[in-house]
Structure 1
Amino acid sequence: MPGAFQYKPKFVDIRVRPPSKDDATKEDVHALKPGERQCDHPGCRLAATARAPKGRDMLNEHYWFCQPHAAEYNRNWNFFAGMSEGEVRRRQQEEAMTGGRPTWEMKAGRHSREAAAFTAKFGSGQGYRDPFGMFGGGGARKPEPEARRLGKIERNALADLDLDEDADGPKIRARYTELVRRLHPDSNQGDRSGEHRLQRVIKAYQALRKAGMV
């Protein structure tokens, strides 16, 4: 082939300028401004601008998300998730009758002043019958332990770690260490088949740490 028609590259020596000190001092575009809070989605560094309820029974407790993660959370939100058909029907009836607002019984609580006065008089032989339990007679009962209230992110994170919802901090840490040791390629002679599961485990642990459960 004649030399006139041979390909000749225009650029032979391409050099990349090393990073300067000025580049290291540039302002981080993801840095939060005063008064802003970080998005609650694991690994997100953007500022949170929208809030979303943590669960069906936790409407007064919220996650704070940036706009993209708030939209993703809303797309996957299902108010009736985990409820049977009977529970859904009963909830719809409550919405129709009371507008979903809570109702209270017309009697004094076990720890009210009326209940305490009745119990004191009844114990000294000066009491009277309370057949309907209006004043909580029968002695004060020990309060039942309140069940842990978890949001959707925390429940999914515990499921990724194969843990129950009542798992405590030491149990979560022990399970995380066990899964990382089992799934890491160095423990499997370089086999990367469990790498996707390992990433989910790390992300789940970070979410539980952010929620203060570890």
Structure 2
Amino acid sequence: MPGAFQYKPKFKDIRVRPPSDEDDARAEDVNALKPGERACDHPGCRRAASARAPKSRDMLNEHYWFCQPHAAEYNRNWNFFAGMSDGEVRARQRDELFTGGRPTWEMKASRFSREAAAFSAKFGKGEGYRDPFNLFGKNGGKPVPEPEDRRLGKIERSALADLDLDVNADGPKIRTRYTELVRRLHPDANGGDRAGEHRLQRVIKAYQSLRKAGLV
């Protein structure tokens, strides 16, 4: 065959490089961590951590990082109430029920707040409180007249009496009193006892009368 038509490979050695010992070790290490992964905190474990668990009851914001099998093992052995007395356990459960275990604060303004400053300013001017005997010199030395009773009919007065309210009770006070009496007199609140059923019917009828009269 003429030399012009002979096959001449571009590279002299096109054989695939045989694997080295380092490549074999890397292939066998199936638990090798990938970039960005962290190792499991369990001693001797080389798996990637995918779950976290709190370190203790007093350090809920600090965590261990475990792989799934060791996280399951840690959770099985975890006891939140370990070392607590029965009273402390009940107190903790009550706190979880009412506040979710979170800290609470008093819902009142500080004496340095804007609301406190506004109240002090009103108090200095004689506002924000009733002074029927003019002890603080409000209204130019004139006593504050007491509010006159509303002109109500016999039905409305009787209805307010059934709710144990005076004739000057406003709408919110009537609704609050009605709700309180219904909860107190309902048979479900008395273990099924129907002794207060007659009084309950009077309360409901009285409230309906006041609603019809436009007082609620």
TM-score of the aligned structures, taking structure 2 as reference length:
0.38
TM-score of the aligned structures, taking structure 1 as reference length:
0.38
Task: Give the structure with higher Rg (CA).
Answer: 2
Identify the structure with bigger relative contact order (alpha carbons < 8 Å, sequence gap 6+). 1
